[in-house]
A and B are shown apart, each in its own frame.
Chain A
Amino acid sequence: MGKLDRQRVKESSLQAVKPAKASIPEYDSSERSAVMVHRRPNFFYHLHPPTLPARESRFGYTFGLGGISLLLFLALGVTGVLEMFIYLPTLADAAASVRQIAYLAPFGWLLRNMHYWAGQMMVGTVILHMARVVLSGGYKGRRSNWLIGMALLALTLLLDFTGYVLRWDQDTAWALVMGTNLVNAIPGIGPALYRLLIGGQTVGQATLLRFYAWHVLGLALVATVLIVWHSFRVRRDGGISHRKSAPGPAPRVGREQLVRTEAIAALLTLAALVGLSVLVNAPLGPAANLSVLMTAEPRAPWFFLWIQELLRSAPVFLAGVLAPLAVFTLLSVLPYALDRGPAGVGEWFNRPGRLAQGVFLALVLAVIALTARGLLR
């Protein structure tokens, strides 16, 4: 009880820094933090604990990848809602409405490009975030949050794929046909699941509409809830994963330092997003027509190219369903099967986690190699 009260006092506005300073001598209270003492901490400060482990708060430890992914998700929400004002999820109008956004609406091109590039960047940042967590033992002692993260990885890929389909040009419509036919190959429940996915016997109006519903709300809502839970778990698990140093407490820094780093990272991310969106247009091919013979080979989105590559040589169920599931399952059980102990948390390439790191890197390399082979075709 007494401990809890003290905790509250520590968190409260006026004494945000002082008790920490008293108990942990190495904490360096800069002039800036002294100013903070007299202000009520704003929302962004409240998202952080008053003090954080100094070593693990450095940008060079996390590279801010989780926060950057969150920022991109928010950018996707804002640009996506704006696109919904013009986009029409119907076979007749989808491609035309995308063109209205891209060519006619003021700054629509920028909006669409930002939505596209934020989606691509987010796939990259969540995968790098996952790599950071594996390679620095960040999941040790907090494995449930790793599973939430895996669910978020799956949701990110599904959100990207459903969004890709909404563009409704030749490439994306054929990717939809192939992707949904994969489901058909599952023994037993395949055909029922296929009908549930596409809303009928063949890909058509119902399919586009339900992919739209999944994209703008169904998946996005679940992802929002899981992101909040994922972030909450970090606080609940004792803040950012950090080395348990002995003896005595590790040096800590005030949260204003981290908030400042995060603000800089956010600005740089937004600058990169806008810059990329100004320079490179999101792809947009001829309107989808599933009766016209294709002129070029339709490609899966880049993050599924490795599956398309596997499909060339292995049976559909094995390459298109079992292989991705196996990769996903293997990643999910890393901290439960191969890297169970708490030792080595917060250390890049820590010794106890070598096996898990090796398996992870081997998987990543295999996927990259297959993707490269697909790209070079």
Chain B
Amino acid sequence: MTGHQVNTSPLPSQGGACPERVEGGRGAGDRRAFLAWLTRGSLATIAALALGQVARFISFAPAAEDQTAIPVGQPEQYAAGTLTYVEPARAYIGRDGAGLYALDAVCTHLGCLVAQQAGGGFACPCHGSRFAADGQAQNGPASQALRHLALNLNQDGQMVVDRSRPVTPATRLAEDS
């Protein structure tokens, strides 16, 4: 132990007086520095790898159950010119001259639910974004339009909203009955 200590910290004034120790000291010092570097490096690598796995572990989520097709009732329930908020779908179901459509109520800014405004269009209560009746962003922090969602008829003649399938604003439900 004492020998090692001498090697690692030779005093400058003594270094020249004892050449053997300086040579041995340099070699041992390099080796020791390398081993220390190697130890620290491996520990840091192991820690980083472990942390990465911890991140993977806490990112794990079981596959979500299929909640994409949400029933919203019969087409006849929605009269021409109306716009109705349907809670389970978190969407507005509207009927205009062209037909039925579903408009996502989730604000494109930070995810609050937009409310219908008296003069037509939508307003978000959270940071004041405004959207036109067709979902176009008009005002405030949100820059993207509200999403139009796929609206389909299932076998029983029920309408279903598919929250995972955005469609173009012009899309309408094909009613051929």
Please tell me if the beta carbons of A181 and B111 are within 8 angstroms of each other in the complex. Answer: yes
Looking at chain B's contact residues, is the secondary structure mostly helix, strand, loop, or mixed? loop
Interface range on chain B (Cβ under 8 Å from partner): 20 to 34
Interface range on chain A (Cβ under 8 Å from partner): 20 to 34
Q: Determine whether A177 belongs to the interface, using a CB cutoff of 8 Å to chain B.
A: yes
| Given A293-B105, A296-B125, A297-B125, residue A177 in contact with residue B61 (CB < 8 A) | no
- Distance in Å: Cβ of B154 to nearest Cβ of chain A: 21
Please tell me if the beta carbons of A312 and B127 are within 8 angstroms of each other in the complex. Answer: yes
Q: Determine whether A192 belongs to the interface, using a CB cutoff of 8 Å to chain B.
A: yes
Please tell me if the beta carbons of A178 and B111 are within 8 angstroms of each other in the complex. Answer: yes
Question: A195: which B residues are within 8 A, CB to CB?
Answer: 59, 61
Please tell me if the beta carbons of A201 and B64 are within 8 angstroms of each other in the complex. Answer: yes
Kindly identify, within residues 138 to 177 of chain B, every residue whose CB is under 8 Å from any CB belonging to chain A: 140-141, 143
- Distance in Å: Cβ of A321 to nearest Cβ of chain B: 12
Question: B126: which A residues are within 8 A, CB to CB?
Answer: 174, 178, 297-298, 308
A200 — nearest CB in chain B belongs to which residue?
A: B61
Please tell me if the beta carbons of A196 and B125 are within 8 angstroms of each other in the complex. Answer: no
Please tell me if the beta carbons of B59 and A177 are within 8 angstroms of each other in the complex. Answer: no
Q: Determine whether B87 belongs to the interface, using a CB cutoff of 8 Å to chain A.
A: yes
- Contact partner of A196 (CB less than 8 A), chosen from B59, B88, B109, B143, is B59
Kindly identify, within residues 54 to 113 of chain B, every residue whose CB is under 8 Å from any CB belonging to chain A: 55, 58-61, 64, 85, 87-88, 90, 105, 109-113
Chain A 287-305 near chain B by CB (<8 Å), digits 1 or 0: 0001111101110000000
Please tell me if the beta carbons of B113 and A308 are within 8 angstroms of each other in the complex. Answer: no
Q: Determine whether B41 belongs to the interface, using a CB cutoff of 8 Å to chain A.
A: no
Kindly identify, within residues 309 to 323 of chain A, every residue whose CB is under 8 Å from any CB belonging to chain B: 311-316, 319-320
| Given A178-B112, A316-B141, residue A308 in contact with residue B61 (CB < 8 A) | no
Please tell me if the beta carbons of B58 and A196 are within 8 angstroms of each other in the complex. Answer: yes
- Distance in Å: Cβ of A376 to nearest Cβ of chain B: 14
Question: B143: which A residues are within 8 A, CB to CB?
Answer: 315
- Contact partner of B110 (CB less than 8 A), chosen from A177, A297, A314, is A177
Q: Determine whether B22 belongs to the interface, using a CB cutoff of 8 Å to chain A.
A: no
Q: Determine whether B128 belongs to the interface, using a CB cutoff of 8 Å to chain A.
A: yes
- Distance in Å: Cβ of A194 to nearest Cβ of chain B: 10
- Distance in Å: Cβ of B127 to nearest Cβ of chain A: 4
Chain B 116-141 near chain A by CB (<8 Å), digits 1 or 0: 00000000011110000000000011
Question: A294: which B residues are within 8 A, CB to CB?
Answer: 112-113, 115, 125
Please tell me if the beta carbons of B113 and A210 are within 8 angstroms of each other in the complex. Answer: no
Q: Using A291-B90, A297-B125, A298-B112 as known contacts, list a sample of 7 further A-B pairs with CB atoms less than 8 Å apart, ordered by residue number in A.
A: A196-B55, A201-B64, A202-B64, A294-B113, A297-B126, A298-B126, A316-B109
B residues at A contact (CB < 8 Å): 55, 58-61, 64, 85, 87-88, 90, 105, 109-113, 115, 125-128, 140-141, 143
